[in-house]
Amino acid sequence: MRLRHIPGAEEEIASSRWVYRSPEEVKQDLPSPLYLEIGMGKGGFIIESAKAHPDICYIGIEMYESVMIKATRRLDRMEEDERPSNLHFIRMDARDIGDFFPECSVDRIYLNFSDPWPKTRHAQRRLESEQFLRRFYPILKPGALIEFKTDNRELFDFALTEYDKAGFSLVFSTYDLHADAEAMKDNIMTEYEKKFSAKGNRICKYIIKR
The catalytic position among 115, 164, 176, 180 is 115
Residue type, 70: K
Q: Which value, to the nearest 10 degrees, does the dihedral of the CA atoms of residues 46, 175, 93, 35 take?
A: 40
Is 115 marked active-site? yes
Task: Give the span between the Cα atoms of 21 and 2, in whole angstroms.
Answer: 25
Cα–Cα distance for residue pair 94/30, rounded to 1 Å: 18
How far is C-alpha 203 from the chain's CA centre? 16
Handedness of CA 132, 137, 139, 143 (dihedral sign): positive
Which residues are annotated as catalytic? 115
